[in-house]
Amino acid sequence: MPEEKPEVKKEDKPTPADNLVQTQHSVTIGGREVKYTVTAGTMVVKEETTDREKEADGERPKAQVFFVAYTRDDVGDKSKRPITFSFNGGPGSSSVWLHLGTLGPRRVVLEFDGNLPRPPFQLVDNEFSILDQTDLVFIDPVSTGYSRPVEGQKPKEWHNFKKDIESVGDFIRLYTTRYGRWLSPKFLAGESYGTTRAAGLSGYLQERHGMYLNGLMLISAVLDFTTIDFYVNNDLPYVLFLPAYAATAWYHGALRVRKPLQKLLGEVEKFAQGEYAAALLKGDSLSKRERASVVEKLARYTGLSADFIERSNLRINDQHFFKELLRERGQTVGRLDSRFTGLDRLGVTQQPEYDPLLTNVLGPYTAAFYDYIRSELKFETDLPYEILSGFVHPWSYAEFENHFVHVGETLRSAMTYNPHLKVFVANGYYDLGTPYFATEYTFNHLGLHESLRGNVSMEYYEAGHMMYIHMPSLEALKRDLAEFIQNSK
């Protein structure tokens, strides 16, 4: 008879535990040496349960969240030292972009303008890090980076708007408690969908955990998806993308009339808000004379042909623009940074095959992180680091059924209840994923009381979504973030 295998009881399974390593380093920022400690690894996040027969401490392990934390060594009173919790977007992106691109003390090397360098790639000290201003904690949401649900938990549970905010918020609460940072000035830094998460967290942390923040640093923000989702019954994105289309055409020399970028954008913004918005509002009641005027100006400002604009019914879809602007040159323009161009196999398709920004950064950031985490930070695992995870899709927005995702009201409430909360927004002129004019529209429609509007500040950079891959923009962004932190702590 076959030998019977011993039954493995549920209680025999190992309890998930934190897996952390610490290392010491130094970096020169602004001509001064900054010594710091890095804590890297996974922390077990639990949820409360009433089933105390199964969970002795009344908490059930749910996920192992990976993070990398940087704390300055020469700090006596931690209550005076700011701390910033940072993440990227997607949904499905790890925190590697802000981590190794701009905020952290080590930086991936790209070409001066952000183009792809020749392999192999490099990681160098980041003289533009904000570690001189604030401690940093980079968080990978569940299913990104090395963050995973514990055994027995379904990953799908985490792949939705509400649970994402709760899980990241609960991690922030746990880290703040364990490392004694409740009295420190606290900031959030997010990029892209990470700005959606940050706005949601401003409310969740305040209401669920009583954690009041000093500031939000929003890189390439999107708080209202109405402004970026192209649908048949939504004319708003066509208006709000137009200045970024014009900036892109200007950059590639596709406009007949050359003038300074700022002067051009001023004209386009006025036209977009006025004559163009009114024309789209009128729909089929628009007169032939009015239509002809709009077509002529759209062609002038976008570099597209009047015939193409007519066939588009005055509405230029972003995917069509990426493909059409440089079609005669056999090139496409990028979505996340329209300075970059791509080469499709066919020139007759409606949308490009790939985004050249992503192909410029994916290889260098991947190689740099894998080497950095083992060789310098001494954290070892054979798991793949999910830089851009496709496993989180489909992502659920069940809370917004039958309407667009919108977290502006959450941010407005948080700023109203905590009138000391300040917001900094970084915009790239060549960002066609979250255009600057759409961001301006969002903040102009938050409904903030007049006394709170001065708490919001914006800056603009001659680059795209990840403006920090452009060296002049990286240097400017550091100055702007440092000033914001100093004025908000």
Query: Does 131 share its domain with 211?
Result: yes
- Does any domain span residue 1? no
Query: Does 250 share its domain with 166?
Result: no
Query: Does 378 share its domain with 294?
Result: no
Domain boundary among 320, 354, 388: 354
Question: Does residue 55 surpass a pLDDT of 80?
Answer: no
The tens digit of pLDDT for each residue in 303-330 reads 999 999 999 999 999 999 999 999 999 9
Question: Does residue 210 surpass a pLDDT of 80?
Answer: yes
- Does any domain span residue 477? yes
Query: Does 201 share its domain with 157?
Result: yes
Question: Does residue 225 surpass a pLDDT of 90?
Answer: yes
Note down the domain range covering 257.
230-354
Percent of the chain at pLDDT > 70 equals: 95
Query: Does 326 share its domain with 262?
Result: yes
Helices 242-251 and 436-444 pack at an angle, to 10 degrees, of 150
Looking at residue 1, what is its pLDDT?
Answer: 47
Percent of the chain at pLDDT > 90 equals: 89
- Does any domain span residue 92? yes
Query: Does 69 share its domain with 118?
Result: yes
- 């690894």: which residue's tokens? 41
Read off φ and ψ for residue 61, nearest 5 degrees: -60, 135
Question: Does residue 335 surpass a pLDDT of 90?
Answer: yes
Q: What is the Cα 317 distance to its own chain's centre?
A: 22
Q: Kindly report the CATH number assigned to the domain that includes residue 108.
A: 3.40.50.1820
Tokens coding 265: 């954008």
CA distance 394 to 391: 8
- Does any domain span residue 10? no
Looking at residue 48, what is its pLDDT?
Answer: 74
The tens digit of pLDDT for each residue in 275-312 reads 999 999 999 999 999 999 999 999 999 999 999 999 99
Map residue 149 onto helix, strand or coil: strand
- Does any domain span residue 4? no
Give the model's confidence band at 42: pLDDT under 50 very low, under 70 low, under 90 confident, else very high.
very high
- Residues making up the chain, counted from first to last: 489
What DSSP state is assigned to residue 231? B
Query: Does 115 share its domain with 154?
Result: yes
Looking at residue 9, what is its pLDDT?
Answer: 52
Domain boundary among 354, 388, 404: 354
Query: Does 240 share its domain with 372?
Result: no
Average pLDDT over residues 402-411: 95
Domain boundary among 300, 323, 354: 354
Give the model's confidence band at 457: pLDDT under 50 very low, under 70 low, under 90 confident, else very high.
very high
- Does any domain span residue 8? no
Query: Does 151 share its domain with 65?
Result: yes
- Does any domain span residue 258? yes
Give the predicted TM-score (pTM) of the model: 0.94
Query: Does 276 share its domain with 401?
Result: no
Query: Does 145 share its domain with 68?
Result: yes
Looking at residue 5, what is its pLDDT?
Answer: 54
CA atoms within 13 A on the CB side of 295: 16
The tens digit of pLDDT for each residue in 429-456 reads 999 999 999 999 999 999 999 999 999 9
Cis peptide bond prior to 472, omega within 30° of 0: no
Question: Does residue 54 surpass a pLDDT of 90?
Answer: no
- Does any domain span residue 268? yes
Question: Does residue 52 surpass a pLDDT of 60?
Answer: no
CA distance 401 to 162: 13
Of 192, 314, 299, nearest in space to 254 by CA: 299
Question: Does residue 57 surpass a pLDDT of 90?
Answer: no
Question: Does residue 6 surpass a pLDDT of 60?
Answer: no
Of 140, 245, 242, nearest in space to 194 by CA: 140
Query: Does 216 share its domain with 243?
Result: no
- Number of compact structural domains in the chain: 2
The tens digit of pLDDT for each residue in 105-120 reads 999 999 999 999 999 9
Cα 201 to Cα 103, 131, 160, 189, 411: the distances in Å are: 20, 22, 14, 11, 9
